[in-house]
Structures are given as C-alpha cells and as structure tokens.
Chains A and B, each alone.
Chain A
Amino acid sequence: MKIKQLSVFLENKPGQLNIPCKALASAGLNILTLSLADTHQFGILRLILEEPDKGKEALEAAGCVVNVTEVVAVTVPDRPGGLAEILDLIEKAGINLEYMYAFTARKKDQAILVFRFEDPETAIEVLQKNGISVINRVELFDLAK
C-alpha cells in the first residue's frame, strides 16, 4: 500500500527548482504531484511520479541528490472536515506524522492526501481499521490521471 516518493535537495536560490523539473521533462516523466519544503538556506522538493525508479535515475544524472521514501496515500471526500477526521484518528492512535500534502483527484470529487509517517505500517493498519481508504499506486495513478 505504500507509495514511493522522491525527495530532491535544492539550494534556496533562483533557478534551482527548474533543474529537476527539466530533467524529468526531458526524460518524458510526468509529475503526479509535488510539495516543496523550504528553509531560508535550502529546500526539499518531494515528488510523486508514475515511474519513480526512472525518475531517480534521470534526476541523479542531472546532478541532483535524491532520496526515496515511502509515503501513504488516502482518499477522502472533497468536502469541509474531510482532513480533520483523519487527523483526529492519527492523533488518537498516537501516530507520529512527519508531514503531509494534498491534491484533488481529477475524475471524482475526492481529495488525495499524502502522508509521511514515522511508522507507515501501523498507520495503514489504523486508517484501514477505521474505514479510511488507503490506496495503492495503481489506484493513485488512476485517480490522478
């Protein structure tokens, strides 16, 4: 159920974001979603690609430092309170959430949430037990494309 996420180190200065994006473009790899975390000195670009292994290769060839992490994706109805319910669950179960980001699915009225948990296995168990739909990569690409 876990999904591969690529993280890329960026220096916080003009033009830096363009380097990995160009590398993926010329390799013909589409970005499903991304999130950007930044400090005053550097940033981390987090990417979800359909073909993460090829993406890693292309990025490394372009001189980027790449890290592969496993994240958990879930779908929620795209309405007020959708995210809050899930966060409640996570909090009550005492699961440590490192960070998250969200985007909406193209085909249905659903939002896709991407979570980075310290312990993804336990998190998946808790979410599924509570009827939250944890999706695998095939489902994710279906919804997002």
Chain B
Amino acid sequence: MTSECTCSCDSNKKNFNPASAMDYLPSEELRELQLRRLMATVSLAYEKQALFRSRMEERGLTPASIRSLDDIALLPFTIKADLRDTYPFGLFAKPMSEIVRLHASSGTTGKPIVVAYTKKDIEVWADAIRRAFICAGLGEHDIIQNSYGYGLFTGGLGAHYGGEKLGATVIPTSGGNTDRQIMVMKDFGVTAICCTPSYLAYLLERAEELGINVQELPLKAAILGAEPWAWETGRRLEKMGGLRVFDIYGLSEIVGPGVGMMCGEQDGLHIFEDYFYPEIINPDTCEVLPDGQEGELVLTTLAKEAMPMIRYRTRDITSIITQPCPCGRTCRRINRISRRSDDMMILRGVNVFPSQIETALMAVEGTLPHYQIVLTTRHGLDQMEVQVEVTAEHFGDRIRELEDLKVKLAKSIERTVGIRIDVTLVKPQTIERSQGKAKRIVDLRKK
C-alpha cells in the first residue's frame, strides 16, 4: 500500500499513499487550483444550464465576474427543488452521448432527483472515494465488503469504483441476506465494510446470534454513512465489532458519498477540496460565515462536468474546523453533521420528508387522517413511527378491517418513501393539537 515518501513532508505523513497527494497540497496552491476550477465550472454552468444562466443574468453577472474565491459569494444558490423542477434533463450540462451513468434519490414528491455523470465524473468520484478509503487506512491488500445497496442509490456503485481504484478487493454484497454477508465476511477475511450504521448494528447482532465473534475476524474498519448517527453509536459498534468506524459524507446532488471523510484522528471529516468547495452560511440570512462558525453547509463542485452544481444548499448543519488536522492533510475538515435546517429525515439511508408521509396516507382513503410522525432513537439510530388516528368511517367491529387498514397505510407509505415504516393505529384525539393544527412531528430523539 505505502511507498516511500520522497518529498519534504513531515513525519505525520507516515503510511503516505501518493494517491492522496491532493489532500496534502499547500493551502495557497489548493486555493489557486480551486479558483481555476471554480471559474471553469461557472463558465460551463453558464453556458449549459439555462436555470443558472438566467439567475446570473438577473444579478447582472457573467462568468467573468468571478475573479477570486471570495467572489463565490456573488453566485446564486442551487436548492433541491431545482433538481426536481428541471427533471429530467434540465441541469445536464453535457449531451447524453457523453453521459455514462445516472443515479437517483427520492425527492419530496413523485419525481426522483436524478443526477448524471460523464466518464470523467466517474473518475473524479472514484478518486474521491479512493482517498476516503486511504483516510480509513485502507490499501490494495484490503478486502472491502460493500454492503451499500447497488442500484439507483449512489452508495453501492460509488464505493465499488472507489475500492477498485484503490486496488483493494471489492465484494459487492449489496444490502440484505445478512447470514450470507456474515459468511462471506468470515470466509474471505474481509478487512473493511461499507454500510449504513444501522446495518452494521444489525449485522453484528446477527453474527452474535450465529455464534460468530466478529472481534476475532480480520475486520478492522467500517466506513459508515448515508444516515445520521450519534458518535456514541459508533463507539459502541467499535467495541462490539473490534474495529474502527469512519464517517463518510456525501450526497447525490454533489456526487454521492466521498465528498468528505473522517481520517484516523476520528475528529471531523476532511472535504476533498480540490473537487468540492465548502462554505458555511447562515441558513436564514444566507450570509457566508467564517470558518469555525456553525451554519448550513453549501457545496460547489469544482470538477464535475455532467451536472456542475454551484452553491448547493445541503441543509446540513455543521462548521468548518479551523485547526489543522494532526494527520497532516491540508484539506479542511467539517464537524460531523449535527442536524438539518429543513424537515428532511434520513432513515436507513433513505431521504424521507413528512410531506411524503402525508401524500401516502392521503392516497389510501382519499382524505387525510389525523396522523403524527414520532421520531425516536434506538441504539443511537433514528427510528420513525407513523401514528394514525382511527375514525368512525374506518372502524368496524372486526379485527380484520383494522388490520387491513394498517396494511394499506403501511404499503402506501412504502410505495411512496421506498422503505417500510411502522404504522400504529391510535384512538382519536391521541394526537396533540395546537391552535387547531395538529403537531405532525414529535421528535423524541436524543440530541
């Protein structure tokens, strides 16, 4: 994995992998590179994305207006709804002949959020994930079990390409069939796993039930992402599995996982700044905040062609860490995401908006029942339950009718959201109403 480092780097760069060189670029060089790439990205978006161009024109801006990195603050923001409103091809900046892949994530309404990649974009993404794996101490001798779902979700193929680019062995187990996953892990001496923290928790519990001590297996690292998790959960998983956990950050709109990654210091996540430019803004005033202050993370892609994304509002709340990382990487770190500035929830890697639940409930009987979304934490992971009040119209004297109603509601939610969510029938007036309006979300999660 390692090769002798010949440059004038300090001893911090032990186990230096040349593939990570960009993570150690001197700041001035990095800023110069970022500016060059930002200008190219703005030009491309201005030329090819009608939405961005019209927003620039409204502000009296042209690509020539960007002369320094600070000028990024002049540029208009992009939001999730922009991707939905321009569905399907609206933000594609390259012809389909140059686009080699599409991915999608669930949107707030029926239409998914679709993202596109050129061959070069796939290279950039794979490189970012390769560097993320190196952050976790992985190299070509590692055997990576990739339990992220393969398909429209970016996690599976993203980690797959990154692992192969690293030269590691990638086992594309995808999600599910846990007993087989445990067998593969044991029989092939898997050293690292990529999955959601909830899946790792489940896998470790199942292994214990099967009488397999994961602590005795070669598994040493878990690259966890795609859903929020408490750091204490990570510590608990480390103990249970005899491994180290690493938080990986990303979102489909920017590229997928691999925008940022925790290094061996396990203190914040490095952003691969040559590819993604981070800003922190006040989510209410949109004013750019200095490093160190908490606010909403805004990301600009610096090397993407098929779908350049300028000042994308992630809705994730964090801050940029001002101190240099003891690992020696110069690319800045963000703190672990603490919360979001909108009502989106992430469950088992899937984005869930309360409005989707409403749509799904509405679809069953044609009227909206009184309902409430209850969020709790179990083993440090977010859980959701939808409570629906039973009304005289839906209530008969037979158990079967109630069971049928419950199944219908649950199926409708699953069809809309993409994952199964617990539905509980409750009696009328259970759900608290304030000023005539029902309180739709009860957040009992531990902060």
A residues neighboring B (CB under 8 Å): 5, 7, 9-11, 16, 37, 39, 41-42, 44, 46, 63-67, 69, 98-99, 116
Contact = CB atoms under 8 A, between A and B. Distances in A.
B398 A9 contact: no
Interface stretch (B175-183, B193-201, B342-350, B388-396): B388-396
A65 B424 contact: no
B222 to A, nearest CB: 34
Nearest to A41: B424
Interface string B82-119: 00000000000000000000000000000000000000
> Which of B399, B425, B429 has most chain A Cβ within 10 Å?
B399
B427 A7 contact: no
A69 B395 contact: no
A99 B400 CA distance: 11
Contact of A65 (B395, B399, B403): B395
Interface in B378-409: 390-392, 395-399, 402-403, 406
A67 B397 contact: yes
6 contacts: A41-B425, A63-B429, A65-B390, A65-B392, A69-B396, A98-B398
Most buried by B among A39, A42, A99: A42
Q: Report the interface size class on chain B.
A: 10 to 19
Most buried by B among A11, A16, A65: A65
Contacts, number: 51
A9 B397 CA distance: 9
Nearest to B397: A7
Contacts of B18: none
Nearest to A116: B397
Given A9-B390, A66-B392, A42 B425 contact: yes
B288 interface: no
B427 A9 contact: yes
A39 to B, nearest CB: 6
B427 A11 contact: yes
Contacts of B212: none
**Which residue, of A9, A39, A42, has the highest number of chain B Cβ atoms within 10 A?**
A9
A22 to B, nearest CB: 15
B395 A67 contact: yes
A9 B429 contact: no
A7 B403 CA distance: 16
B364 interface: no
A72 to B, nearest CB: 13
B26 interface: no
B50 interface: no
Contacts of A98: 398
Contacts of B402: 9, 39, 42, 44
Nearest to A43: B399
A60 to B, nearest CB: 8
B426 interface: yes
Which of B391, B397, B424, B427 gathers the greatest number of chain A CB atoms within 10 Å? Answer: B397
B264 interface: no
Nearest to B389: A65
B428 interface: yes
A37 B395 CA distance: 14
Counting from the closest, the 3 A-B pairs by CB-CB distance are: A7-B397, A69-B397, A65-B395
A7 B399 contact: no
A67 B394 CA distance: 10
Nearest to B392: A65
| Interface hub of B391, B396, B427 (most chain A Cβ within 10 A) | B427
Given A9-B390, A65-B391, A44 B427 contact: no
Given A9-B395, A65-B428, 9 more contacts: A5-B397, A9-B390, A37-B399, A42-B390, A44-B402, A65-B390, A66-B392, A69-B397, A116-B398
Contacts of A65: 390-392, 395, 427-428
B403 A67 contact: no
A28 B427 CA distance: 24
Contacts of B427: 9-11, 16, 63-65
A39 B403 contact: yes
A123 to B, nearest CB: 16
Contacts of B430: 11
Nearest to B396: A67
Contact of B395 (A7, A16, A41): A7
B428 A63 contact: yes
B428 A46 contact: no
A99 B396 CA distance: 13
Contacts of A69: 396-397
B426 A11 contact: yes
A7 B396 contact: yes
B426 A67 contact: no
A67 B391 CA distance: 10
A7 B394 CA distance: 12
Given A9-B390, A65-B427, A46 B397 contact: yes
A11 B424 CA distance: 10
